[in-house]
Structure 1
Amino acid sequence: MKQLQKVFRPAITLMNRLKYPQKFTLISSIFVLPLSLVMYLLISEIQSRNDFAEKEKIGNTYLRPLRQLWSDVSLAQITNNDQTKQNELKELKARINNQMRSLEDVDKKYGNILLTTSKFNLIKEKWRQIENQNNNNIEEKNQTYNTLRQEIDELRNKVGDQSNLILDPDIDSYYLMDATLLKLPEMQYILTDIQLITQKSILTKQDTVESRIKLIKYLAKLEGYNSELKKNMQNAFKFNPAGNTRPKLEKFLNDYTNKIDLLIDTAVPLTENSNTLSSQVFYTAAAENLKLSYILWDKAIVELDVLLQNRINGFVQRQVLLCLFVSIILILVLYLYIAFYLGVKQTVSSLSTASKQMIDGTVTESIILENRDELAEVVKSFNDIALALVKANKEVNLLNQCLTDENIRMGAELEVTSKLQKMILPPKHELEQIPDLEIAGFMLSATEVGGDYYDVIYHNGKVKIGIGDVTGHGLESGVLMIMVQTAVRTLLEHNETDPKKFLDTLNRTIYQNVQRMNSDKNMTLCLLDYEDGKVRVSGQHEEMLVVRRGGLIQRVDTVDLGFPIGLEEEISDFIGYADIQLYPNDVVVLYTDGVTEAENPEGELYGLKRLTEIIKENWQNSAHDIKQAIVDDLYKYMGQGKLLDDITLVVLKRKQLETS
């Protein structure tokens, strides 16, 4: 016994020096910390596997409409080659459009997870190209269809890679994945190519050596894939613990693979004699095998979903059992703690009575305890802290309420300013009333209130166009933009036509307002005066781009034509102008630095070079289409990145002269 006491003496000494809460904390920490760590690791591992399987199910969800699209696109290509089936082709195209919309809905939901949106957009664009093709060149249309099929095939591979399907850990579901994601699509691809080759021979009534060679190669590939499919599916059946895949898939598998074997056997005479190839036999057999492959694919994907869901259910059950086990352990520990507490109840009761007397101020004599727990002092300290926390909490709540009211007020001010900015932009019907020009504008603010400015004013047969960029963002910048718009309209109403006087008067007005506001804001501003094909440019801003016939771009530097508005009171010596002649179909593009300095996810700037290339590609289009092409390319370049600066764009194009 003495030896035992000697061994536990350090622990006994430590426990005697601790208060009871400290004792409970120490014991529970020593027990709970490793248990919590193990619990966390186990649940995290189970959850990671669960998430892995859930992502695989997302892949299957994406593959279903993609399979429908694939089969109908292949059928549309074959139908397109037969001029007698144009009514069927129209129905197929309508069905493909519906499937495109269905796939687009799935992509909107899961595209960010599977990183498929860009690839899907390429497929949509290629399909629009097919729909818009009006020529009767079958070879060219076939080439476009082949490209579309390749894009769909690449999208399928992308889904397999990003959804973890290609990394499935279980043997049965892995081989089902191999069938639905790899083997069956590859065989469908080959069967479609066989149909295209034999269809060409049927329509042209020519059976060339080249077509025979291609057919033999396709059949050889088909034989290899068919053999691998049989082997892999047998492995899936063999290693399926529940044994539910074989009864549901084996019949469809045998029907399909046996038909493939018959098709392959038909090719034997091609290598043994020189009899004429019956293209119709291969065409019909390939079509029948395609239908069977789609049926097998649909059945296999359902069973793959069942296996994945069973796996997920198993993970959930493990989590529940683990939580239940730990809960039982914790309840047992709590039970033991209560038993321990009852063992020291007498001491705790004495401490409780002493603490109440000390709080009430009714202590008449000192309480002498053998322990050094000092629980009465702890309780008193706790109450003091609690009172302090209550007081502090009230102060924090009051401060939060004040901040909330201020935020609401500021938000309302910003919303009003933003609405004012949008209200004074030139409406579409005003732009359409300008007889000699097509004008299209675009503005997007990086914050609630932007600092960009543009306006188009048609007054007394002349057109005044302005574009500018206030430093910074927010309320002050938005107010300065509104002041400039008002000043420009006022000067125009007073028939001020001299560009030097116009800008000088405008600058003095804005400068004095900026000084009154005690603000450091200023802005670049460029004004264009248009009349009868002549443009007079004044003011300092970004380069003005003039697009001549053929896409030739003339860059007009405005650095020497003005000075930042509101920065200095006297700028008349810096103001100049330049005259530009616009011919019919010439284009002028104005923009703020938010366009050229927009960044992609890698932090690279959009740049003036890319802007001019887009303009060159679209100069012959309308002003609205040119503007939209630039905006679309800008969004595509930025991707999901955050807008860092306001974007403003104005495109004007001189209309074609009407001939009598």
Structure 2
Amino acid sequence: MTVPASRVRRRPRTPGRLLPLLLATVLLLPVAFLVIQAYRFVDADRDAVEREQLGVEYLRALGPVTEALVNAQSAAVSGHPLPRENLDRAVEQAAAVDARTGDELRTSERWAGIRAKLEALPERSLTDPEDAFNAYGEVTDLLLALYGKVRETSGLIRDPDVDTYFLQDGVGEEMPEALIAAGRLTDLVILIEQRPAADQGRSLMELATLRFAALQPARDLVNNLRAVVESSENAELGANVLNPFDAYQRAVEAMALLALPNRSGAVDTEGLTGARKQAQQAAKQLQPVLLDEIDRLLADRIDRLNRDALLVLGAGSLAVLLLISLAVSSWLSRTQDSPTAIDQPSIGTEPVESDRPTGDRWEPVALRPAGEQTPALQPAGQGREPDRWRPFDAAR
């Protein structure tokens, strides 16, 4: 006989089903590595630009200190009362900026030294104009060194953008050097008038040196600004820079002529002082315009970096989702295509009654133990051979 087939569950092919997941995992690793590296690069660039913004903020605070210090030096050399209020106010504002950004830019130590010298200036004997000139010269040298430190540690000096580089070079190096040198130049002219005639040769050499030190950075600043204005895509920059730029350029040209001594060795002190004040006033108007333009360029770059970061994260997320989707769909397709059971006949059995025909079907036969011989099958409705002749035997 046969019995209903036992459903034997086939062992799933585990290696074949795990292969898609394994491949997806292997592909996810390099994708994740590339995404993380790209995001780190973008994040590092963004941190660098933010550090440059701190440098711009520091340079903005040093501008009033430079102007007030140059004016205080001129007042001390000429014997006029010191405008201490403006210098103290500028120092306090710069100190507040250094307190916020000094650790990041590593300028706190330098600024502390400059502030100590500035606070000690009124206590020193400045009755001699020569001593005042030398004392303020030491402080202004330290101030120029602080300008360089800010540009270096903030990364402004290494900015890859051409416009930003020339702008920071002009406002962070050439402009303060030109202002300080111009102040020293006019102060030296006043000192030369008070020196004895025996020192005239030395005085003229010092005057020529300071004249070059004042005019060279001023001319470099003019050339750099002209190049930036002509190449910049910001139309407002040219309009904002035009008036103070022209005024500064005219003042520098006037200083170049007025600083030349005449045949007798004298210099037009009043005219040179007036040209210096005009250049200083134009630089005062020009500095915030240039710093604002640098801030705008850096802000635009941060916006681009933020968009790049979003693109990197979006592309990485999409790649991860695609790999996971492919792995899951492959897993499901393999699960549906693989058979889970088969019909297996029992060993040592014969067909069941329902499997035998009666009439047009097989006649049901009693079940017999396995191994016992089964009588021949006969169609339904026909008796066995002895039963067929039984009526004839009864009639006889």
TM category, shorter? 0.7 to 0.9
Candidates 275, 282, 296, aligned match of 2:286? 296
**Equivalent residue letter for 1:73:** L
**Equivalent residue letter for 1:49:** D
What residue in structure 1 maps to residue 378 of structure 2?
Answer: none
Candidates 17, 21, 39, aligned match of 2:35? 39
Structure with a larger share of its residues in helix: 2
Instruction: From the superposition, tell whether residues 44 and 333 of structure 1 become closer, same or farther in structure 2 (CA, over 3 Å).
Output: same
Contact in 2 for aligned 1:198/1:280 (Cα 8 Å): no
The Cα offsets for residues 577-630 of structure 1, whole Å up to 9 and x where unpaired, read as xxxxxxxxxxxxxxxxxxxxxxxxxxxxxxxxxxxxxxxxxxxxxxxxxxxxxx
Q: CA deviation at 1:104?
A: 2.1
What residue in structure 1 maps to residue 365 of structure 2?
Answer: none
Q: Do structure 1's residue 112 and structure 2's residue 103 form an aligned pair? A: yes
What residue in structure 2 maps to residue 340 of structure 1?
Answer: 330
Contact in 2 for aligned 1:194/1:283 (Cα 8 Å): no
For residues 215 and 85 of structure 2, the distance between their equivalents in structure 1, rounded to whole angstroms, comes to: 35
1:222-371 alignment, distance < 5 Å? 222-241=214-233, 245-267=237-259, 270=261, 273-274=263-264, 276-344=266-334, 346=336
What residue in structure 2 maps to residue 499 of structure 1?
Answer: none
The Cα offsets for residues 452-486 of structure 1, whole Å up to 9 and x where unpaired, read as xxxxxxxxxxxxxxxxxxxxxxxxxxxxxxxxxxx
Q: CA deviation at 1:245?
A: 3.5
Candidates 68, 72, 75, aligned match of 2:68? 72
Range with bigger deviation, 304-313 or 237-246: 237-246
Q: Secondary structure at the match of 1:18?
A: helix
The Cα offsets for residues 307-359 of structure 1, whole Å up to 9 and x where unpaired, read as 11111111111111222222233333344344334424548997xxxxxxxxx
Q: Secondary structure at the match of 2:127?
A: coil
Instruction: From the superposition, tell whether residues 341 and 18 of structure 1 become closer, same or farther in structure 2 (CA, over 3 Å).
Output: closer
Instruction: From the superposition, tell whether residues 251 and 24 of structure 1 become closer, same or farther in structure 2 (CA, over 3 Å).
Output: farther
For residues 171 and 228 of structure 2, the distance between their equivalents in structure 1, rounded to whole angstroms, comes to: 13
1:75-154 alignment, distance < 5 Å? 75-83=71-79, 85-86=80-81, 89=82, 92-133=83-124, 136-154=127-145
Q: TM-score when scaled to structure 2?
A: 0.74
For residues 78 and 349 of structure 1, the distance between their equivalents in structure 2, rounded to whole angstroms, comes to: 99
Q: CA deviation at 1:178?
A: 0.9
1:382-421 alignment, distance < 5 Å? none
For residues 311 and 185 of structure 1, the distance between their equivalents in structure 2, rounded to whole angstroms, comes to: 27
Highest relative contact order (Cα 8 Å, sep 6+), 1 or 2? 2
What residue in structure 1 maps to residue 212 of structure 2?
Answer: 220
The Cα offsets for residues 242-298 of structure 1, whole Å up to 9 and x where unpaired, read as 565434324432321222112213345x36x44743211111111211121222222
Instruction: From the superposition, tell whether residues 229 and 32 of structure 1 become closer, same or farther in structure 2 (CA, over 3 Å).
Output: same
Identity of matched residues, %: 18
Structure with a larger share of its residues in strand: 1
Higher Rg: 2
Q: CA deviation at 1:183?
A: 1.0
Instruction: From the superposition, tell whether residues 98 and 275 of structure 1 become closer, same or farther in structure 2 (CA, over 3 Å).
Output: closer
The Cα offsets for residues 123-181 of structure 1, whole Å up to 9 and x where unpaired, read as 12112221323663333233222111111111111111111111111111010011011
Structure 1 unaligned residues grouped into runs of 5+ = 1-14, 351-366, 369-660
Instruction: From the superposition, tell whether residues 45 and 243 of structure 1 become closer, same or farther in structure 2 (CA, over 3 Å).
Output: farther
> What is the aligned residue count?
330
Q: Do structure 1's residue 62 and structure 2's residue 52 form an aligned pair? A: no
Q: CA deviation at 1:115?
A: 1.5
What residue in structure 1 maps to residue 151 of structure 2?
Answer: 160
Q: CA deviation at 1:53?
A: 1.2
Q: TM-score when scaled to structure 1?
A: 0.46
Q: CA deviation at 1:225?
A: 2.5
Aligned-CA RMSD value: 3.0
